[in-house]
Amino acid sequence: MGAYSAGKSMSSATKGAERQIFVDSFLREVFPTPFRFGSGDATDASGAKSGQLDVVIEYPFSPSLPIVGSATTRLYLAESIAAVVEVKSNVEQQWADAVATAKALQPITRTFGAQMVMGRTFNRKPIFAVGYTGWKTPETMKARLSTEPSLSGVLVIETGLFVASAEFGNMTATGGWSLWGLISCLHTAMQSLQAASTDPIDYARS
């Protein structure tokens, strides 16, 4: 939060820096390899596209395509996506943007062959909205989340609030446990599918 506050007076061109702070200072330090973190667009074998995704967490058993000149921006095949995080300066003010991204992501279809599933399975791709600032009460966040089934959860860092959808047990976490709530839900999403066979040649047939 301190790193975000230090640069919040700068122009909107720093949006990428906010995302980088969250990924480099938090996600990459929390989760072990072989999971990879980046940003970019997603597509499926039918040619459907998601538009820009702030943070994509990849499964280790499907390829993705790097964008020339960028170390972290990629084109993700649907099967490579474990979870997505949308990072906002103020998630309350930018809620419509987070919802639009989530709705654009859900039609992207993953096609797996043989699978080894552990724990819960998810019919949709988990996507969480994270705001450095935003709502002040979990009740308000729950009410907003309940009307947007495409989103899996919301974290407000400044106020220390996290709520998750029914898929993730309607979790509510406050204070220092709010970050742990997000970690736990991402862990569940990332660990639900332990292995799967994919066929990237399907993308050449579309």
The pLDDT tens digits of the residues spanning 102-139 come to 999 999 988 887 767 666 777 789 999 999 999 999 99
Q: What is the pLDDT of residues 137-176, one digit of tens each?
A: 999 999 999 999 999 999 999 999 999 999 999 999 999 9
* Sequence ranges of the domains in the chain: 2-205
Tell me if residue 116 falls in helix, strand or coil.
strand
Q: What is the pLDDT of residues 9-66, one digit of tens each?
A: 455 555 567 777 787 778 888 998 888 899 999 999 999 999 999 999 998 888 899 9
Q: In the numeric block, which tokens belong to residue 117? A: 């599933």
C-alpha 200, offset from chain centre: 23
Centre a 10 Å sphere on the Cβ of residue 54 and count the other Cβ atoms it contains: 23
Task: Spell out the alpha helix ranges (H) of the chain.
Answer: 2-7, 15-22, 28-30, 95-105, 138-146, 177-191, 202-205
Q: What is the pTM of this model?
A: 0.88
In whole angstroms, what is the distance from residue 1 CA to residue 135 CA? 16
